[in-house]
Structures are given as C-alpha cells and as structure tokens.
Structure 1
Amino acid sequence: MKWKQLRRRVAVGIPALGLVAVGVLPLSGQALAGIAPEGGGTGGSGSAGTGAAAAAAGAAGAELPYVEYEAEAGTYDGTLVEADAKRTFGHTNFGSESSGRRSVRLENTGQYVEFTSTAPTNSIVVRNSIPDAPGGGGLDATLSLYANGAFVQKLDLSSKHSWLYGTTDDPEGLTNTPQNDARRLFDESHALLEQSYPEGTTFRLQRDADDSAAFYVIDLIDLEQVAPPAEKPAACTSITEYGAVPDDGGDDTEALQSAVTADQNGEIECVWVPPGQWRQEQKILTEDLAGGQYNQVGIRDVDIRGAGMWHSQFSTLTPPHEADGINHPHEGNFGFDIDRNTRISDIAIFGSGTIRGGDGGHEGGVGLNGRFGVGTEISNVWIEHANVGVWVGRDYSNRPELWGPADGLKFSGMRIRNTYADGINFTNGTRNSEVVNSSFRTTGDDSLAVWASKYVKDPATDIGHDNRFRNNTIQLPWRANGVAIYGGYGNTVENNLISDTANYPGIMLATDHDPVPFSGETVISGNSLYRCGGAFWGEAQEFGAITLFPAGQPIPGVTIKDTDIHDSTYDGIQFKSGGGDMPNVNISNVTIEKSNNGAGILAMGGARGSANLTNVTITDSAEGDVVVEPGSQFVINGWPDAENGTPARGREG
C-alpha cells in the first residue's frame, strides 16, 4: 500500500444542501459524458469522442437521440481551457465547469471549433459561455454556424441565465450582481435548422466580425435528427380551439388552462398542443375553491400531448419574481401543478429564472410540481431554466385533505437542463416510482434524488421506498450530486452514466436533511462514473465519486456492485465521518481507476461500520488503494493490504 501525507479534511458539520425543498447512443462515435480522448487543437482532427465505449459495454446511461461532440476533440483555432489538478470550483473556473474538464475559448475574429458529424442532423445544441453584462443580468450575442464551408445561420446565445456571484457555497447567498468570484458559467443555445445535413458534414462554429461577445467558451455540441411534428390524435382537442395562437408572442395561459379544465371535467378526452411557440405566464392547476393564500391544488385526470419537445414549446418571458398575480411564489409562473392521474408528453417547458435565493430571495420556479398521486406518467418533456425541473410531493401540512403521495409515478425520455436546484426530486413519501432513459445537464442541486422526508402524514408508513433511477445520463451538476438518496428503503440507482460533478459525489447516500431512516436494502448497481467528486464548503471538505455520509443516523443495507469509477477528483468510494454507522456495505465487481487526489477507497477518521470487498480492482490511486484513517472505527474486509486502524496519514475525519 502507498501512504502519503494528505491535506486535512473536515467531515462533520456539513451545511444543509438547501434542498428546495450521456449515455448509450443508438449510434457509433459516442462522446456523451465528455469521455473524449486526449488531443485536438489547431490542426487536429476528430468528431465525437470514443471513450464512451467502456460505458456502452456496461449499458450505463440513456438511449439518447443525439450525438454529442466535445469542442476540444475537434479541430479548433482558439485557446484550450483546462481545469487545474483539483478541478477547483467557484472562482470563475471555466475548465472545472466544462464537460471532460476541457473546452475551447474563442476571442478573435475568425477563430472556430470544427468537427465532422457521424450521423444525419437537422438541429444543434451548443453548451457555451459568453460574458455577463457589466452590471449583471446577462447579454445576448450571436455565433456563426457553417456547414462544409458554407454559412448556415447565426446562433443566438445569451448569458441571462448564467453567471452567479459570491464566495459562499450556500446557493441562496449567491447573487446576480457581478463580483470577482463567479460560478454557473455555462448555458445552452438550441436551434432547428432549415434542412437536414448528412453524416460526414463538417460543421464549424466561428466568431465572425459581427459576433459581438468579447469571448465565447465552447464546451460541447449536440446534433440530433429531429422527427417531423406528430399529427394531432383524433380524440384530442387543440388549445387553439380555446383561443391560443402560436408564435404571436401573446399569453396563451388562459386558453391552456381552459383546455386542461375541460379535460379534467370530462368535456374533452385529451388536450393537444400543436407545433409552435406558446407563451405561458401562469402555472396550470385547479381552481382553489377553499380560497387559500396560494393555490396548492394540482390538476387531475388530464392527458396533455404535444407534437414533440422540439415542436410544441411553452416559455415564459417574465422571471418568476417579477410576475404579477403569481399562483404560488415558490412554484413559479410556468409549468404544471399535478395532483394525480395525469399524463403529459412531447412538449418543452422553458422558464425564465435567473437565480436561486440572493438579490431579494428570488427563485426560478418549478417546471412540474405537486402531489402526483397515482396514475401519473410524464414522457419526453424538456425543461430548462427552472429553479427545479420536477419536485414530487407536498408537505402533509399544505392541504391535509388532499394528501396523496406519488405511487407508481414514471418519468421517461426527460431532458432537464440548466436549473438552479434539483433535476427531479422524489420526496414526501414517493414510492414505487422511477426515472428512466432520461438526461440531465447542469443542474444546480441533485440531478436525481429520493428524499424520504418527515413532512408526511405518518412517518411510519409514508416512506420514500422502492424507487428506481435507471439508465439515465447525468452531466455537469454545478452543485451537489448526480444521484442522492436520503433515507427510505428499497431504492435503486442502476445503470446510470454520471460525469463531471463540480463539487459533490456522483452518487451519495446521506442522512442529512433529517430524513426517515434508512432501512432494508439500498442498491447501487451497474453505474459508470467519470470525473466525479470535488471540494466544497469553503474547499474544506473533499467528496468521493461515491460517498456514504451517515450524518447522525446510520446507513445500513447498502450494496455497491457492477460499477466502474474513473478519474475521480478525490476518492473513488468514500465512507464519511458523521456519527452514524455504515454496517456491512457489500462492494462487488467494482473497478476504480485513477483517483487523482485521493484513495481508491477511503474510510475517514470518524467513520464507523464495515465493508466487504469482492472482486474489486483499484489502480492508479494518488493516496493509496484502500485507506482507513487514524481513529476510524471502520473495518474493510477482503482487501489483503488494508491496514485497518493503522495510523498512516495526517488527515482527520
């Protein structure tokens, strides 16, 4: 075993996370999760990276309809941006917030990023960063798109939804007012192209003389062959029959609400959202006959269908904190509040949030929220620029007479991007529910979470249990975890591809946020993690790619199996100090490769419990393969060189 002196880690007193509370492609030439080969640059060549083959072999991640291309893996004339060795976050670190921890910066006229497509495409998404306005609030600029040397169009970019400032790691303390230290530096621009381009097309993103931003940092590009708009089902009634007009800039909320109410009342069979840009400035819900201060009654017995997420798109022009007559200030002025038995498919919901907390306690709203109940299914919905993509559950105290936790809820084909907090959070007793085959990028808290909260009718029975997160692709959470489980039982994290967490683990099991205790079994299986973990809370705490944190309460019944962990910022698997036990963690068929600034497996000085290793392979760990820090009451079985309890390193738990 290799022993080295380590920097100090503080393991207790982690502040609350402030809960508000890219996968296997059907194509060759994958680059999802930023698993691109080294190289590229001026005079280089390349398109989609090839390193995702390891993930593909284990079927980790979602089956996504687009091919992702890393800017630095192509040919470029610009400056390569790279993270520092510890991938430091929060100090205007473009490299640390980039996919693969690398991107390309364009400053001069004529500079470009170029790549060759490996599949047909008629759309483009560019993850990018341009400067904020001098006084904050963002600015707009264009970037030029070329195909095979011919100009295609200008892409519209904006920094309105990026650039949060401050040195605090408490998200509510960040501000839109410019300071030296910034984070959440990237956003995305998307466009449907006027024609389809075949495989083998050479695309170029170029800063031309009339592209006005002082700089452009290009991280990655998604190319997708978008299907034509779906036809209206014969049984459905269009929102245009209630007065909605596409693409005119007028507010269509009243028409949409009228159609949904008609469906809920049994007057029509389903609601149809035709192709078009539809403006929505109020949450869709059910009239609050009780006359409460805020409407907390969701829709029920409703079926809403669109022509496709690229075609039927709702958006709000008004930041939630500036909206008049808002239904509920926390939930925002867009999206849908759902109580039960609701199906929504093939639409997009774009919010207009700019912050979570600071500058007056403003929030960015929630795309889908409510009790969700039974009979609800959401598929192929794109949510962007919300505070939270989806918040499942309401506290029992909201409206006790309407209590009904989500049971059997299913999300599939979701595309959640650029939020200020969670992607999808299962709370308030959510059970038997799942998120499958979905993608998440740049969420501002946990991309996926089960929070078995105590704000329920009966904590003895209303427990978050038997939920599954499987075959999802999670990239670049700019705060917190890829996947988190807080209490409950029978929950499974399976076959997910997780990459580039800025500061927290790829997967964390924890008992902070005072959840209902863990019981039974929690399974982490078949996942692939790349470049996960990081330092947070003043850079005093360093998190592993997979971390167990028993903050007072124990975490029993954990199985970690059939998992590969690559290029972790700190430890591969970390057992954190926290006061609770972690008994009999079973770890089998796990590969941990290249823990850059930590150990393969680490038990911190205050950790308690045990782990049993079977068929575990650890290579290229900077600070030892299996390490138990001095003072630890954690025992690791099945590793021949483990020196349990042996003083070896100068890092405290």
Structure 2
Amino acid sequence: MKRKQRSWRLVSGVSLAGLVAVGLVPLTANASEDAPPESAGDATEVSPAAEASGATLPYVEYEAEDADYQGTLLEADPERTFGHTNFGTESSGRQSVQLDATGDYVEFTSTNASNSIVVRNSIPDAPGGGGIEETLSLYVNDTFVEKLTLSSKHSWLYGTTDDPEGLTNTPGGDARRLFDESHLLLDETYPAGSTFRLQRDADDAAEFYIVDLIDLEEVAPPAEQPAECTSITEYGAVPDDGEDDTEALQAAVTADQNGEIECVWIPEGQWRQEQKILTDDPEDRGQYNQVGIRDVDVRGAGMWHSQLYSLIPPHEAGGINHPHEGNFGFDIDSNTQISDIAIFGSGTIRGNNADQEGGVGLNGRFGEGTSINRVWIEHANVGVWVGRDLDNIPELWGPADGLEFNDVRIRNTYADGINFTNGTRNSSVTNSSFRNTGDDSLAIWANPRVQDPNVDVTHSNTFANNTIQLPWRANGVAIYGGYGNVVEGNEISDTMNYPGIMLATDHDPLPFSGETLISGNTLHRTGGAFWGEAQEFGAITLFAAGKDITGVTIRDTEIYDSTYDGIQFKSGGGAVPEVDISNVTIDGSLNGAGILAMGGARGSANLSDVTISNMADGDVVVEPGSQFVINGGPGGEE
C-alpha cells in the first residue's frame, strides 16, 4: 500500500503540544512563528492551559503513518487491545508502518534542521530470545547516508500475565513491549526542507521492520571541559575502547566527594560502566551496601556526546551493590548535581524474582541540594527511584527535599520513569520527556516505610510541562497518597492499559490530605483495559482502593479520544468526596462515557464549565447502585 504524504495542517481540537506529537509543528513555544506556511489554514483556538502543555523539546517528531510510505499500515483495534503482540496498540497515535519487501520505505520532509535521528521501531526477536541486530538504510535528499543499526535485544517480553514479574525473555505465545529505539548522530547538519527516507534495501535482512516515529534534532557540538573540572581520563578512563571504566569513574567521584577536586568531567565519548557509582561503606551496614554519593558535581559534554553504557544485564552481573538497583548509574544520598550525560543501561527484563531486575539509572535518598539536568536514561528497570525505606541504614535517613529534574529524557524502561517516594517533598520534574516506560512514567508514592509517618508524608511535589508517551504498562502520571502535590501542564498520550493520570490508594500509601491539583494537562488516546482485560480504566481515574482520596481539583484540562471513559470514579473500599472539576473538555471515547461513576464508587464531584462530546456510552453516567453524587452537568454551573 502506498500513501501520499499529507500537507502540514493544524488539526481541529488538538493543542499545540498535540500537533508537535504528530510532527505537524516543531517543538517550540510559538506555533504561529514556527509552523511551516502550509499550516496556516484550518486553525482552531485552544485554551491557554492546553496550549502550554507538554515539554519544550529540541527535536521534532514525525509519525510514520503521516509520511509518504510504501508498506503496510498497522492500526489498533477499537478496544486498543494490549498484550497479544498488538503492534498497532503499541504504536504512537495507534498507527505505524511495516516494511516487508525490498524497496519499502517511509519518507518525509523535515521542518527543522537536524544532525541526528531517533527511530522508534520493531524488528523480530531471535528464535531463542535475546534479540537480533539488523540494519535499515537512511537516505537524505535521495542520497544514501548510513545504515542504521536496529536491535530487539531490549524488547519482546512474553507471557499472558499482567503481572510484570511473570513476563520472560523466552519466546512463546503472546508478546508485549514490542518497540525499542535506535539513535544516530549524523556527520552533517541537514537544513529544514530535507527529505529523509528510511528504506529497506536488499541487504537489510530482518524478516520485517516496523517504523513508528522519527525524531530529528540539531544537536549542539560537545561542550568544552570547564576549567574547574577534572576529567575521568586523569584517573585512567579511556573512551570508546570497550573496556570497563567504572574504576576510574568511581575514583573521580570519590575524589570530588572528599574535596580533592571541584567537579568531575566526563568528556565526549562512549564510557563503559559495569558497577554502580556509590560510597563504599566499610561497616557494610544495611542489607546491601546502600550508601550513596554526596557533595558531588558530575558534568558532561552533552547527552548525545558523553555516554555511559553497560553491556552486562544486571541479573547476570554479579557483585553489584543491590540486585534491584543494578550495575550502572549513580546511587545518590544528597547534594549532588549531574548534568549533560547519558546513561544507557543493559536491562532486558522487569524481573521474576529479586535477583532478576533491569537496574536503576539513578537511585538513593537524594536528600537536599540535588539537581539532575539534561540526562538521558534508557534500558533501565527504573529510570529514577527517589527514596529509601527507613530500614536501609536508619542513621542515614534523609528524604529528598528540593530535588529538581529538568530537561531529562527517559526511554524504554521496564518499570517506572521517575518515582518520588519515602517522604520526598518540595521536589519537581519539569520540561522532560518520557517514552515507553514499563510502569508509571511519573509517580508520587507516599510510602509508609519512613521515619515518622506523621511528618514524612510525600508532599508538595510538582510534575509540570512534561511530555509523556506510550507507557506500555500503568499510568502516564500516578499519585498514591500525600498532600500538596501538583500535576500541571503535561501532555500525555497513548497509554496501553491504564489511565493517563490516576489518583489511587492501592500500594498502601499514607493518606491523601490537603489539596491535590490536576491542572492544565492534555491527554490523547489514554486509558485502557488490564488485569485480564476485565478492568477498564478512564483517561483520568480516581481509585479509592481502601483509604479515601480527598481534596482533589481537576481543572483546565483537555481529554481527547479516550479508549474508555474520560474521567472515571472507580469502585473501591474508600470514598472520593467533593472533587472539583472545572473548565474541562472531554471529546471522544471509543468505548466509554464522558464521566463515569462505577457501581461501587462513593463520594461526589462538582462540575463547572465542563464540555463533553462524542461519547460512546453517554456524557455523565452513574451506574446503578453507586452512592456517588455528581452536581452540575456538562456546560453548566455547579
């Protein structure tokens, strides 16, 4: 099947960030200045809150199905069924293009200058598992540029269970987590208006290639070493030689921690790391050596240029400090700054016991004075886990306070993207991007295993202006208990089975209290069915599993093309009283209602300036037997 490339246009009812997500305008702050001339017509106004949603990112994303292509269009079924080797469901926009024959291609004209490419793709697994590597040909302006290397080493998990620890790397039956990404820094910069083609040539030998999306970015040259920093090469690290540089990296970090140098410099290059960077504990306290680094400043030449990588899967590494945390990345206790590097892990599985996990890119207590800027994490079990249980060396207790993540990229994990837990407070994730996480892309969990449950409640944290795509398990954003937490200005799309945003009291959190604010977010194609496809989740779901969920405000929000309900109050043992819902647009549902209170839901919601349209099962639905009360209605005042 061959399909002509569409002319660029603004799409009715889609926010600026949504246009970016389909590659129709560059990822910049002002569509009117930066959109190509062809998009001048058919524009519709969107609310200021929605227009501001999502991260301002340095790349433009192009959907394969919106390109000129020769191949087979893959689409999700109406239920967007997940877990049964469903390529369409796992695709961005729920569509992708399969290249089966020699000469098949995906081709598009760039709207931005670029010297790098990221391709989200799927190729087959090896017959016995473990993945394969194959090439795909890149042409620019009809000239062959380079072979891209695609890999399935980190994709293809098998099993029918929805319990992630039950999935395996052994081929057989149903599969999920079908996609991964390949990236390449090109030798030259191609101006806007260049024609990029990904083509299957005769020597590209995979059985099939599926192309989902492409990111083009103009990457800045590598930064120069700051005069005050000391390079890891001074401690014996050698770039690009394939040898383990952990000893040198650890020595440099220890020297910084001891005040012998001012900061650690990771120069341009590929640096192999096969042990977690931490602080050696001669007392061997705790179940594992769980003392992180503190008073450390690690800088790199840029996330495309200074890259740490691991080759040994964590569950095969041996001798690591903690089976869950793996053999790559950094364990942080407090006052640490890390910027402008990449951490490419070696995980291949979520894990079916405590000794088989995919590792954590950044983990620890984090304490005070820590910030993470422009760090790219990929192929970890968890990108970042913030917090430690009290019994992990109680005398070192120190929850994250004022922790900041800015401009980070987390891709292709087996569990969470970033999880704030164990009393994390006054902390934030802003202007960051998440794609293909295997659990919540962003989570706040008021874990009760803290020093003082009355004081150490996870609170006053903010997730703002982030772009979240394609969580292959669980939520785009989740909040489990706590108070004063804010989810604001995020763009969330294409969750496989769970909500775009969920507030819940499962996982035994400390209670909700005070206010929880959900504001200015835009959701596309979120929600889904899980747990044997017996539970259907809305785009925004409130699930009082046991304890109540109190103090919730949902406002200035746009919800489009939900798989099931727009806003759902799920049956549970607790109640959700006095939810304020205002200035909310819910447009389109394949299989659900605009607002649904399930039969076992208890509580109430007050609607003001709510617009609902194009629902499969009605605008506002309260199931028989429900004790939930909804005041006001679509388009009306409370």
Same fold, TM exceeding 0.5? yes
CA contact (8 A) 1:24 1:56 kept: no
CA contact (8 A) 2:19 2:25 kept: no
Shift of 1:57: 5.3
Query: Match of 1:271?
Result: 264
Which amino acid counterpart does residue 418 of structure 1 have in structure 2? Answer: N
Which amino acid counterpart does residue 457 of structure 2 have in structure 1? Answer: I
Shift of 1:358: 3.3
2:339 to 306, 324, 345: 345
CA contact (8 A) 2:272 2:310 kept: yes
Distance (whole Å) between structure 1 residues aligned to residue 355 and residue 326 of structure 2: 13
Query: Match of 1:585?
Result: 579
Shift of 1:579: 1.3
Matches within 5 A, 1:589-608: 589-608=583-602
Distance (whole Å) between structure 1 residues aligned to residue 332 and residue 45 of structure 2: 37
CA contact (8 A) 1:28 1:118 kept: no
CA contact (8 A) 2:608 2:635 kept: no
Render the CA deviation track for 1:510-533: whole Å, top value 9, x for unaligned. 000000000000000000000000
Q: Does 1:314 align with 2:302?
A: no
Matches within 5 A, 1:445-484: 445-484=439-478
What secondary structure does 2:398 align onto?
coil
Query: Match of 1:432?
Result: 426
Query: Match of 1:563?
Result: 557
Query: Match of 1:157?
Result: 150
1:212 to 205, 211, 215: 205
CA contact (8 A) 2:115 2:188 kept: yes
Change (3 A) 1:224 1:23: farther
Distance (whole Å) between structure 2 residues aligned to residue 136 and residue 359 of structure 1: 19
CA contact (8 A) 1:238 1:271 kept: yes
What secondary structure does 1:260 align onto?
helix
1:280 to 238, 255, 273: 273
Change (3 A) 1:26 1:312: farther
Shift of 1:604: 0.2
Q: Does 1:233 align with 2:223?
A: no
CA contact (8 A) 1:24 1:55 kept: no
Q: Does 1:615 align with 2:609?
A: yes
What secondary structure does 2:508 align onto?
coil
CA contact (8 A) 1:251 1:278 kept: yes
Q: Does 1:188 align with 2:202?
A: no
Q: Does 1:99 align with 2:92?
A: yes
Query: Match of 1:16?
Result: none
Shift of 1:640: 7.1
Shift of 1:625: 0.1
Query: Match of 1:524?
Result: 518
Distance (whole Å) between structure 1 residues aligned to residue 43 and residue 251 of structure 2: 49
Give the RMSD, CA atoms, in angstroms. 2.2
What secondary structure does 2:614 align onto?
strand
Change (3 A) 1:51 1:300: farther
Which amino acid counterpart does residue 159 of structure 2 have in structure 1? Answer: G
Query: Match of 2:326?
Result: 332
CA contact (8 A) 2:575 2:603 kept: yes
Gap regions ≥5 residues in structure 1: 1-21, 35-44, 643-653
What secondary structure does 1:72 align onto?
helix
Query: Match of 2:507?
Result: 513
Q: Does 1:394 align with 2:388?
A: yes
What secondary structure does 2:165 align onto?
helix
Query: Match of 2:30?
Result: none
Distance (whole Å) between structure 1 residues aligned to residue 493 and residue 22 of structure 2: 18
What secondary structure does 1:512 align onto?
coil
Which amino acid counterpart does residue 611 of structure 1 have in structure 2? Answer: A
Change (3 A) 1:384 1:33: farther
Query: Match of 1:650?
Result: none
Q: Does 1:260 align with 2:253?
A: yes
Query: Match of 2:104?
Result: 111
What secondary structure does 1:358 align onto?
coil
CA contact (8 A) 2:22 2:62 kept: no
2:60 to 37, 60, 67: 67
CA contact (8 A) 1:124 1:191 kept: yes
Change (3 A) 1:50 1:86: farther
Query: Match of 1:354?
Result: 348
CA contact (8 A) 1:26 1:64 kept: no
Query: Match of 1:414?
Result: 408
> After the TM superposition, which of the residue ranges 85-94 and 319-328 deviates more from structure 2?
319-328
Normalising by structure 1, we get a TM-score of 0.91
Distance (whole Å) between structure 2 residues aligned to residue 364 and residue 420 of structure 1: 7
Render the CA deviation track for 1:553-583: whole Å, top value 9, x for unaligned. 0001000000000000000000001011111
Change (3 A) 1:235 1:551: same
Query: Match of 1:626?
Result: 620
2:124 to 120, 131, 141: 131
CA contact (8 A) 2:50 2:558 kept: no
Which amino acid counterpart does residue 209 of structure 1 have in structure 2? Answer: A
Distance (whole Å) between structure 1 residues aligned to residue 45 and residue 84 of structure 2: 30
CA contact (8 A) 2:545 2:574 kept: yes
Change (3 A) 1:32 1:287: farther
What secondary structure does 1:104 align onto?
strand
Shift of 1:276: 0.2
| Runs (4+) off by over 3 Å | 22-34, 49-57, 358-361
Distance (whole Å) between structure 1 residues aligned to residue 538 and residue 324 of structure 2: 32
Render the CA deviation track for 1:222-256: whole Å, top value 9, x for unaligned. 00000000111110000000000111111100000
Change (3 A) 1:54 1:201: farther
Distance (whole Å) between structure 1 residues aligned to residue 25 and residue 595 of structure 2: 26
Distance (whole Å) between structure 1 residues aligned to residue 367 and residue 25 of structure 2: 34
Could you say which structure has the greater relative contact order, defined with CA pairs below 8 angstroms and 6 or more residues apart? 1
Query: Match of 1:19?
Result: none
Change (3 A) 1:33 1:465: farther
Render the CA deviation track for 1:371-392: whole Å, top value 9, x for unaligned. 0000000000000000000000
Distance (whole Å) between structure 2 residues aligned to residue 94 and residue 28 of structure 1: 19
Render the CA deviation track for 1:33-85: whole Å, top value 9, x for unaligned. 99xxxxxxxxxx99xx9999889952000000000000000000000000000
The percentage of aligned residue pairs carrying the same residue is 76
Query: Match of 2:78?
Result: 85
CA contact (8 A) 1:25 1:65 kept: no
CA contact (8 A) 1:175 1:359 kept: no
Query: Match of 1:14?
Result: none
Distance (whole Å) between structure 2 residues aligned to residue 119 and residue 57 of structure 1: 24
Which amino acid counterpart does residue 197 of structure 1 have in structure 2? Answer: Y
Query: Match of 1:167?
Result: 160
> After the TM superposition, which of the residue ranges 23-32 and 313-322 deviates more from structure 2?
23-32
Q: Does 1:178 align with 2:171?
A: yes
CA contact (8 A) 1:313 1:350 kept: yes
Distance (whole Å) between structure 2 residues aligned to residue 342 and residue 358 of structure 1: 32
Shift of 1:324: 2.9
Shift of 1:30: 3.9
2:139 to 142, 146, 149: 146
> After the TM superposition, which of the residue ranges 391-400 and 283-292 deviates more from structure 2?
283-292
Q: Does 1:296 align with 2:290?
A: yes
CA contact (8 A) 2:314 2:327 kept: yes
What secondary structure does 1:621 align onto?
coil
Distance (whole Å) between structure 1 residues aligned to residue 19 and residue 532 of structure 2: 41
Shift of 1:24: 4.2
Change (3 A) 1:641 1:410: closer
Shift of 1:361: 5.2
